């Protein structure tokens, strides 16, 4: 009887393991809203969505970490194991897309220059930033800005975009660069903290425009194929469109999806 029970328990464990699929770590390097917001946010919503679409073939496990930690994992000599969320090639210096496998973009976004209304920054090239104090996020790359840090531009770092908005309001920085989607979402938090939104100026035109992708090792195989398939369909998927709109992202025009 004991042997039968043990065999049955082992069979159940094996079945559960098979049903859960291969466990894959999904790395998110955006640790503030809208990506992580209390116990929720876009990052956990995305992982739940993907696990539903993967239907047990793989199970993604969300891991949130600093961008510099993610950079180290992706550049490790042993290769990158897992999937990075929300990235764009310029963010990690892979514009040619030769170091990693990039899925189709599943979100469109843009970076805006945010400054103070009493000293608005109107970007017309590097010369318009001379002598200014830039508030960035630790570990993030900013093409078009990084090249001038320490020369004609001073940079300070914070953990997230909201911290940089606080710096602007306090007069501790002259401008920051942040996703327009994040700025729209953070308006609510600024209201809660009674930070004067009217003191901030958002640039008239985007500093940069980009897509957000899943990033895997070039030899990721079947997982890359699965995520490519899902990502390609996401812009017109009703469930994903509802999630994206909830977190103040723009979505493709409905007419495009007919």
* Predicted confidence (pLDDT) per residue in 162-215, tens digit: 999 999 999 999 999 999 999 999 988 888 888 887 889 999 888 999 999 999
Confidence of residue 74 (pLDDT cuts 50, 70, 90): very high
- Output the pTM of the full model: 0.84
Q: Which of 211, 241, 233, 215 is nearest to 24 (CA)?
A: 215
Mean pLDDT score of the chain: 89
**Radius of gyration, alpha carbons of the chain:** 21
pLDDT at 18 over 70: no
pLDDT at 9 over 50: no
**The two domains 16-108+210-257 and 110-208 share their CATH topology (first three levels equal):** yes
pLDDT at 246 over 70: yes
pLDDT at 11 over 80: no
Topology annotation, domain 110-208: D-Maltodextrin-Binding Protein; domain 2 (3.40.190)
Domain 16-108+210-257: top CATH class: alpha beta
The predicted structure's pLDDT at residue 8: 46
* Domain boundaries, given as residue ranges, for the chain: 16-108+210-257, 110-208
The predicted structure's pLDDT at residue 190: 85
The predicted structure's pLDDT at residue 128: 87
């Amino acid at each position: 009887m004991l042997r039968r029970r043990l065999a049955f328990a082992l069979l159940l464990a094996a079945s559960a393991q098979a049903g859960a699929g291969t466990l894959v770590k999904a790395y998110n390097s955006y640790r503030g809203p809208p990506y992580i917001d209390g116990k929720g946010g876009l990052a956990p919503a995305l992982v739940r969505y993907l696990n539903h679409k993967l239907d047990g073939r793989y199970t993604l496990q969300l891991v949130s970490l600093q961008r510099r930690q993610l950079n180290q994992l992706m550049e490790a000599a042993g290769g990158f194991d897992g999937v990075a969320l929300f990235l764009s090639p310029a963010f990690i210096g892979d514009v040619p897309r030769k170091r990693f496998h990039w899925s189709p973009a599943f979100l469109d976004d843009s970076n805006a220059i945010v400054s103070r209304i009493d000293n608005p920054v109107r970007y017309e090239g590097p010369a318009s930033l001379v002598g200014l104090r830039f508030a960035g996020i630790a570990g993030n790359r900013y093409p078009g800005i990084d090249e001038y840090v320490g020369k004609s531009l001073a940079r300070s770092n914070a953990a997230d975009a909201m911290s940089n908005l606080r710096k602007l309001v306090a007069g501790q920085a002259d401008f920051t660069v942040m996703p327009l989607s994040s700025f729209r979402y953070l308006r609510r938090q600024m209201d809660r903290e009674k930070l004067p939104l009217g003191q901030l100026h958002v640039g008239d035109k985007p500093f940069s425009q980009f897509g957000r992708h899943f990033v895997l090792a070039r030899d990721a195989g079947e997982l890359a194929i699965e995520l490519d398939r899902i990502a390609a369909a996401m812009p017109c998927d009703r469930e994903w469109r509802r999630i994206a709109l909830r977190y103040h992202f723009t979505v493709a025009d409905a007419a495009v999806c007919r």
